[in-house]
Chains A and B, each alone.
Chain A
Amino acid sequence: MKTYFRLIILILFFWTINSNCQSKMVLIKGGTYIPLYGRDSLQVTIEDFYMDVYPVTNQEFLQFVKQNPKWKKSVVKKLFVDDNYLSNWKSDTNLNSSQSLNAPITNISWFAANDYCECQGKRLPTIDEWEYVAMANEKIPDARIIKTYNEFILSWYEKPKTFNNEIGSTFKNYWGVYDLHGLVWEWTSDFNSVLVSGESRKDVDNDSNLFCGSAAIGATDLMNYAAFMRYAIRGSVKAKYTMRNLGFRCVKD
């Protein structure tokens, strides 16, 4: 009896730590910056907002599915997800044995991510908000011109299966936010507002905001180069798509 009691306390203890930890948000102080696609005239101003410290985990999303059965993979409307939705899960409410509870949730669509955040009284970040926070390294809010910062991002492209890693396994940035780089891609609310036609060489002449040839001449270099990949991945997806390397986190005003 005593043992059971202890076990329950222990479980409760871990559970609180866990849930505290996961729902934790930090204040991001607003500011003005020039995003990748901007020219000097095109500055973006960000208001203050709160951002999740970690991406949403398998465990958190599991709970969400249990509370919102319409997101079970067996019953979910095919309008909102593609065939890979939660494809690694053993069943509607069970993870696969190879999946860690504390790894980021992936293989979820934009619709699912959006609904998750709304249910928490939050929302998905905009591209501009996400990029604003993500341009920080450990020490400074805008590290985009720093070589090591870009090298870290680029090296992630060559590390296989990082979606299996647990949250918090990369660095804590200037704002106190973890895992913006080096774990998984993340959904943004307006992911497809920057148009990448798919024929990236054509985009160079396009009047679109994004001068995609950025990997070539004129691109402010390595910095755009690392960031460009994010725009490319965003341009390649649709809201119902799910990917093994694409997760999300929430923000709130």
Chain B
Amino acid sequence: MKNFRKTFSSVSLLCSAFLILVSCNDATKKDVDAAKIVVSGTMDAELTAPPFVPAPVGDRPAKKLVVNMEILEQEGTMTDGVQYVYWTFGGSVPGSFIRTRVGDEVEFTLSNHPDNKLPHNIDLHAVTGPGGGATSSFVAPGHEKTFSFKTLNPGLYVYHCATAPVGMHIANGMYGLILVEPAGGLPKVDKEYYIMQGDFYTKGDTGEPGLQSFDMKKAVEEDADYVVFNGKVGSLTGDNAITANVGETVRLYVGNGGPNLTSSFHVIGEIFDNVHVEGGSVLNKNVQTTSIPAGGAAIVDFKVDVPGTFILVDHAIFRAFNKGALGMLKVNGENHVDLYSGVKQEGIYNPEGGTIQTMPGDDAKKEVKTNKTLAEKIESGKNIYTKTCFACHQANGEGIANAFPPLAKSDYLNADVKRAIDIVLNGKTGEITVNGAKYNSVMTKQVLTDDEVADVLTYVYNSWGNNKTNVTTSMVVEAKSAH
């Protein structure tokens, strides 16, 4: 034990020494870099609308990078039938993706379209300087402002409008991402995409059609009507889904514009191999869900090993399924059954022998009415059918093709009433032919009283074109004793 302690303490000493060494290295590295990097040459920045990103910086040297961004106030679609006036950087929500490397000298021109009504500005979290550029970029409609900054810290950063009322400008879509790659660029991957979450607040309820205006009160109360990726419901689903091929590595630049909600970003059926936590330099591995604060970002990457559709969600899950925070990654390619088998076998799980389990209190004596008229039996049988049979055989006895045989105009049913009673009492497994179609399924035995069996069968025989047999309780008793 003593020995163990000794070893332990020396190991931990070694560890901390190593850590100090590593962090020292990091610090010196950064001090040397960034501010003193000399730029060589000028280039126009490639700007892209989501979900696409510009080409990687690769091993290019630091340059003077010219960025021209236009602010547009324009009507767009929030979801089918719902319009919204978005305020945008570059005509999209989120705004155009800007890709730089450490040491770049960015000359940024912000133009405010003449048709716009409001002044705007931009605060880039990648900027070291007052207001992140907001002070220098406040621009009236029909005008433009230019300022420049040097990118000192690598990482993925949010930019947004910071003109009062700041919340409203952000809530209307004025945010985007700027990436500062380290010297030499990020490790190469096969596919890269740009995704940004945002919450929206509309005068009408979620889904209320028409042109919806921004609702200040809901925004203050953080009661979002829509929580979406890339500015609208469905921006990443169906034909808009992002894609990859089996075996490729996918990197997602994920931001959160807010204004209010923190995202629990998750890809259903994938595990992030690497996450740049909060868009910075800390690398976390094997992450299921990563938290992305409003005004923050994360870089995640993962290798896609099997084909299929992988759903991107905010795992605060009502936002995904009720407010729109849902996207799709479609992966094409060969199946890998050793990694994921798909369905191997399907069966019925039936621990207690009936579809309706007996619950405490069910034993209470039911009032049994004897000598019911045919009409009363049908009435009672209909109730039982709705509770017990309806799920498989359907409302009008039509059944479900290839799975559950029909009861309507059923030759199999009408041919033999004793057989029908027996099936209800004891269940049925195996192939049968009904109205010329083959079924091979399982019907479990039903937990019903003799009266109930009689009533439900009478209802079935007297409905949907069947032969109107009146099944009596004594017939049921007889069938039982025959076993």
Contact = CB atoms under 8 A, between A and B. Distances in A.
A101 interface: no
A228 interface: yes
Nearest to A159: B85
Given A157-B118, A232-B118, A236-B119, A198 B135 contact: yes
Nearest to A241: B140
Contact of B141 (A203, A222, A245): A245
Interface stretch (A13-21, A38-46, A111-119, A207-215): A207-215
Contacts of A246: 141
Nearest to B117: A245
B142 A244 contact: yes
Contacts of A236: 119, 138-140
Nearest to A150: B216
B131 A154 contact: no
B163 interface: yes
A199 B140 contact: no
Interface stretch (B31-39, B164-172, B293-301, B376-384): B164-172
B165 A233 contact: no
B419 interface: no
Given A160-B75, A244-B141, A185 B167 contact: no
A97 B216 CA distance: 39
Interface residues of A, number: 40
Given A158-B214, A215-B166, A198 B138 contact: yes
Given A200-B166, A228-B165, A154 B142 contact: no
Given A212-B164, A215-B166, A154 B117 contact: no
A87 B114 CA distance: 10
Contacts of B143: 82, 241
Contact of A243 (B74, B130, B140, B213): B140
A175 interface: no
Interface in A103-157: 107, 154-157
B73 to A, nearest CB: 7
Contacts of A87: 114
Contacts of A222: 216-217
B214 A228 contact: no
B304 interface: no
A176 interface: no
Contacts of A245: 115-117, 141
B214 A199 contact: no
Given A154-B214, A243-B141, A244-B141, A225 B119 contact: no
Interface residues of B, number: 35
B115 A200 contact: no
Given A225-B216, A236-B119, A243 B142 contact: yes
Nearest to A238: B140
B138 A225 contact: no
B121 interface: yes
B457 interface: no
B162 interface: yes
A243 B131 contact: no
A235 interface: yes
A161 B115 contact: yes
A81 to B, nearest CB: 12
Given A160-B75, A160-B115, A225 B165 contact: yes
B134 interface: yes
**Interface SS of chain B: helix, strand, loop or mixed?**
mixed
A199 B115 contact: no
A84 interface: yes
A44 B117 CA distance: 28
Given A154-B214, A154-B216, A202 B142 contact: no
A215 B214 CA distance: 14
B213 A202 contact: no
Contacts of A158: 85, 211, 213-214
A225 B216 CA distance: 9
A233 B118 contact: yes
B138 A84 contact: no
Contacts of B142: 84, 107, 241-244
Contacts of B85: 157-158, 160
B369 to A, nearest CB: 61
A160 B73 contact: yes
A197 B118 contact: no
Contacts of A82: 143
Given A228-B164, A232-B163, A243-B142, A199 B119 contact: no
Contacts of A201: 131, 134, 162, 164, 166
Contacts of A216: 165-167
Interface string B208-221: 00010110110000
A213 B138 contact: no
A185 B117 contact: yes
A161 B141 CA distance: 13
Interface string A148-188: 00000011111011000000000000000000000001000
A202 B131 contact: yes
A154 B131 CA distance: 26
B258 to A, nearest CB: 14
Nearest to B85: A158
A99 B137 CA distance: 32
Contacts of B164: 196, 200-201, 203, 212-215, 228, 232
B168 A215 contact: yes
Interface centre among B162, B211, B216 (most CB of A within 10 A): B216
Contacts of B130: 199, 202
A237 interface: yes
B163 A155 contact: no
Given A158-B214, A200-B163, A228-B164, 16 more contacts: A158-B85, A160-B74, A160-B75, A198-B121, A198-B131, A198-B138, A199-B131, A200-B134, A213-B164, A215-B165, A222-B217, A232-B119, A232-B164, A237-B119, A245-B117, A245-B141
Interface of A: 82, 84, 87, 107, 154-158, 160-161, 185, 196-203, 212-216, 222, 225, 228-229, 232-233, 235-237, 241-246
List 7 tightest A-B contacts by C-beta distance, closest first: A215-B165, A198-B138, A236-B119, A200-B164, A199-B131, A236-B140, A158-B85
21 contacts: A84-B142, A154-B214, A156-B117, A160-B73, A160-B75, A160-B85, A160-B115, A196-B164, A201-B164, A215-B165, A215-B168, A216-B166, A216-B167, A222-B216, A225-B165, A232-B119, A233-B117, A233-B118, A233-B140, A241-B143, A245-B116
